[in-house]
Amino acid sequence: MATHQLLVLAGDGIGPEVTQAALRLLDAVSEFGGWSVEKEEADIGGRAIDRFGDPFPAETRAKIDKAEAVLLGAVGGPSWDNAPKRPEAGLLAMRQYMGLWANLRPFRIFPGLEHLSPLSNATAQGVVFRELTGGLYFGEPRGRRFLPGDLEVVDTLRYRRSEMERIIRLAFQYASDHHLSLTSVDKANVLESSRVWREVTNELAQKFPDVALTHRYVDAAAMDLVLNPARYQVIVTENLFGDILSDLAGGLVGSLGLLGSSSVAGTPGTRGLFEPVHGSAPDIAGKGIANPTGAMLSVAYLVGWSWSEPEIQRLIEEAVAESLVEGPLTPDLGGTASTEEFTQTVINRARKIVQRRKIS
């Protein structure tokens, strides 16, 4: 029997709850795939600060070096908000350490959940291609400088052209492969980096004449995503704008708990980091009611990308989508189900789908 390896970083808050749910589903579908999963665990974020005094400890790095794929829950929480080292720094360090410059964040209003979108009669299905290792998140210099009677604080928005080009090219390629339109989001009316972003996008557009390209300023894009979500199929944007717009997409589809993501280095079949878009949700942590859909979809993306098992990816995606129609749903979706109950529903669904396939 083939074996796939997985490194699990459950993290903080609801991280362990949704990760455990997604792993139970993975174990169930791996039977159908005819392979087994060898899991290793490591600490990241707040948990790692408590154990090692470091949100991204050497032990975790060593395990990443050997991993085929990494599944992450979430990091952060109020108990570390004023700590000298923040849990979030561990996640950022890991993305950079693994060289994961592309973050794909698909969103859609699931059939059966239309009423949960704040918009009536909205349809939305798209993917945000977020640049993940540049921009304001990593630029130097950064920090505080004490002045007489004042404080100066600096964050630096830095990009190389090559860093823009690789993510924009990936988004064009995806749009071209799937016959979708592309919206590039920037702030070229103000920022120099955005002006270069726009130049690079226009240059690449020559190589992808089949892709309908629109440029939008980020402020207008935020408004238009709310008013006309169906216009947005593939969105490509820099790190911070992508962070913000992907949470907006979570609101648009009814819950942030519905979004999974892939952080990758561009080439399918290679190692990636897969995590829900949401955070550690301290307000519901420990209650057993977190929606595990984002984590489950992240596992689906992992299986498809890092393990090249597209059929099992589809199986997970279908089982999740059908369970969202069937219910019972978690409280973020208006239901009363626990994480556990919803997870069992998805596992049962996956079994039924496999049966259905065998018969037909």
Q: Which residues in this chain contact ligand NAD in the complex, by CB under 6 A?
A: 14, 18, 74-77, 88, 91, 256-257, 275, 278-284, 290-291, 294, 332
Beta carbons of 3 and 278 less than 8 angstroms apart: no
Shortest distance (Å) from residue 339 CB to ligand IPM: 20
Largest CA distance in the chain: 77
Q: Closer to ligand IPM by CB, 213 or 235: give it.
A: 235
> By beta-carbon distance, which residue lies closest to ligand IPM?
88
Shortest distance (Å) from residue 343 CB to ligand IPM: 23
Burial tier of 270 (Cβ tally within 10 Å: 0-12, 13-18, 19+): middle
Beta carbons of 57 and 43 less than 8 angstroms apart: yes
Q: Which does 77 bind (CB under 5 to 8 A by kind): ligand IPM, Mn ion, ligand NAD, none?
A: ligand NAD
Shortest distance (Å) from residue 26 CB to ligand IPM: 21
Q: Closer to Mn ion by CB, 18 or 303: give it.
A: 18
Q: Closer to ligand NAD by CB, 18 or 347: give it.
A: 18
Beta carbons of 129 and 167 less than 8 angstroms apart: yes
Shortest distance (Å) from residue 325 CB to ligand IPM: 27
Token pair 């707040």: residue? 46
Binding-site string for Mn ion from residue 203 to residue 242, where x marks contact by CB under 5 A and - marks none = ----------------------------------------
Q: Closer to ligand NAD by CB, 43 or 309: give it.
A: 43
Binding-site string for Mn ion from residue 243 to residue 282, where x marks contact by CB under 5 A and - marks none = x---------------------------------------
Token pair 């924009």: residue? 168
**What sections of the chain are H helices per DSSP?**
15-33, 46-52, 58-66, 87-97, 161-177, 192-207, 218-227, 239-252, 293-305, 310-326, 339-359
Closest CA to 234 of 131, 130, 132, 126: 126
List of residues contacting ligand IPM (CB under 6 A) = 76, 88, 91-92, 243, 277, 279
Q: So which residues are the catalytic ones?
A: 137, 187, 219, 243, 247
Cα-based angle 134, 12, 44 (whole degrees, multiple of 5): 55
Q: Closer to ligand IPM by CB, 92 or 321: give it.
A: 92
Beta carbons of 275 and 71 less than 8 angstroms apart: yes
d(CA 338, CA 342): 6
> By beta-carbon distance, which residue lies closest to Mn ion?
243
Q: Which does 256 bind (CB under 5 to 8 A by kind): ligand NAD, Mn ion, ligand IPM, none?
A: ligand NAD
Element at 73 (helix H, strand E)? strand 70-74
The span from the first CA to the last CA of the chain, in angstroms, equals: 26
Dihedral in degrees, nearest 10, Cα atoms 278, 284, 286, 289: -80
Shortest distance (Å) from residue 235 CB to ligand NAD: 18
Is 131 a binding residue for Mn ion by CB under 5 A? The answer is: no
Q: Which does 163 bind (CB under 5 to 8 A by kind): ligand NAD, Mn ion, ligand IPM, none?
A: none
Q: Closer to ligand NAD by CB, 33 or 134: give it.
A: 134
Strand partners, 40: 7
Q: What is the separation of C-alpha 137 from the centre of its chain, rounded to a whole number of angstroms?
A: 16
